[in-house]
Structure 1
Amino acid sequence: MTDRVQARRGLTATVEAAVEGGARCVLLREKDLPGTSRRALADELRAILAPAGGRLIVAGPDPLGGDAVHLSASDPPPPAGLPLVGRSCHDEAELARLTTEDYVTISPVFRTRSKPGYDRELGLSGLRALLTRTVAAVFALGGIETAAAARSCIKAGAAGVAVMGAVMRAPDPAALVAELVHQ
C-alpha cells in the first residue's frame, strides 16, 4: 500500500524496489492528489508492475484506467464490471455489508505506526474471529513489519498480508518485501 509521505526513497522508487523484492500487487492510495496527478501516478506504477506481471489496485471507486479498486468501509457498493474489488473492514458490521467484493483487508491487526494515536488493535484472536464472518479472501493489515508478524497472520487463517508503513519507511524496501514474501 502506498503512502508518499512515509516513502523514504520517494514513492515510485519505493514501489520499484518493492516489486524487485517480490511485490505483485500495489494498492495506490494518495487520494489527496488532484485527479490528473493521481491518474498519471497510476499509469507510472502500472508500468513498474507490468514487467513482473503485477497488478495495480486503486483506492476508491475509480480504477483510473485500470481494472481493480479497493473501497473504504463506507464507500457505496462496488462498481459493476470490474474483475477485482476489495474493501477495507474493521469489524463484524462492516463485513456484514459486503456484497460482491473479491477480498477484504481486516485491520488493524497489530498496533501501527502509520496511524499514531489509534489504540484499538484486533490482535490475532480478533483477526481469527473476523475471518469466520466472510467468504471473501482476507488480507491482514496494520502493524505488520516483520516476516514473523506476517507468518502469524497467515497461520491465523489470512490469505495474505497487506503492508504499508514498514515498506514505505524501509531503508531497503526490496529486502523487506523479499523477507515478507518468503516468510
Structure 2
Amino acid sequence: MKYELYVITDEALSGGLPHEVIAERAVRGGADVIQLRDKSRSCRDLVRIGRRILSVTGPAGTGFIVNDRLDVALACGADGVHLGQGDLRPGVARQIAPPGFVIGVSVSSVEEAVSAEEEGADYVVISPVFSTGSKYDAGPGLGPALIREIRMNVTVPVLAIGGIGPENVCDVIDAGADGVAVISAVVAQPDITAAARRLASLIEGRKRAGDADRKRQS
C-alpha cells in the first residue's frame, strides 16, 4: 500500500458532507489511503458507511482503513485498521486479522514506534507533529525532529499527522516521513479534490527533488 497522502474523514469538518462523499472527492484528488474516523456512530452505521467507502476506494486502488474498530474493519471488508495507544494492541489484532490485513499504529515516541513494529504494525503515524485543532486529544506538537529519530529506528513506513498543510508538508517529508495523514488540510477545504491534489503534488515533487539530491551526492 502506498502511504504518501492519507486522508481521514470527518463529517463535522467537511460541513456535513457524508464520509463516502469526502472519500470520493479525496480519491479523485489523488489520496492513497482513506481512513474512516467517526467516534459517534454505531457499529452498524459504521459498517454500512465503510461498505460505501469501499465501493469508492476499491475500484480506484486506494487503501481503505478504519480507525480504532477492528470489528468494523473486518465486517465491512476494509484493507486494515488504525489503532491508538489505548486501543487493542497490534499483536492481538494481528492474531485476529486475516493474512494481508494492514495494521497501523499512532505513536508519540521512538519506543512506541519500535514496539508497534515488533508487534506487527505495517506502518506508524507520529501524532501530532505540529499542534492541531482537528483532534482535541492530540496534545502539543512533537516537532519534525522526532520523525528523523523514528525513521532511523524502524523499517516500516513512517507517517506524520497534526497541523500539516501545504505550508509545511515539504518540511515533514524532508524530515524523513514517507507520507502525511491529514484531516483539515483536505476535508475542511472548500474543494476537497483540489486540496488533495495540491498536497499530493507537493509530496511527489519534494520526494523527487530529494531523490535527485541523493543521487548527486552519491
- When normalised by structure 2's length, the TM-score is 0.76
Query: Does residue 160 of the first structure (1) align with residue 182 of the second (2)?
Result: no
Does structure 1 residue 65 correspond to structure 2 residue 76?
yes
Residues of 1 paired with 2:188 and 2:131: CA distance? 16
For the Cα contact (< 8 Å) 1:22–1:178, is it kept in 2? yes
From 139, 157, 169, give the equivalent of 2:188.
169
Q: Which amino acid aligns with 1:31?
A: K
Structure 1 118/33 Cα, relative in aligned 2: closer, same or farther at 3 Å? closer
Cα distance change of structure 1 residues 137 and 117 upon mapping to structure 2, 3 Å threshold = closer
Q: 2:22 aligns with which of 5, 11, 14?
A: 14
Secondary structure at 1:132 match in 2: helix
More helix by share: 2
Q: Quick one: percent identity of the two aligned structures?
A: 32
Within the candidate set 123, 134, 142, 1:103 is matched to 123
Matched, 1:5 2:17: no
Matches within 5 A, 1:18-167: 18-60=26-68, 61-62=70-71, 63=73, 64-66=75-77, 67-74=79-86, 75-76=88-89, 77=91, 78-80=93-95, 81-83=98-100, 84-98=102-116, 99-115=119-135, 120-146=140-166, 148-167=167-186
Give the distance between the partners of 2:130 and 2:76, measured in 1 at CA: 33
Aligned structure 1 segments of 4 or more residues deviating by more than 3 angstroms: 115-119
SS at match of 1:87: strand
Unaligned runs of 5+ in 1: none
* Equivalent residues of 1:103, 1:137 under 8 A apart: yes
Q: CA-atom RMSD, angstroms?
A: 1.8
- Unmatched 5+ stretches in structure 2: 1-7, 203-218
Structure number, greater radius of gyration: 2
CA distance in 2 between partners of 1:179 and 1:92 (Å): 30
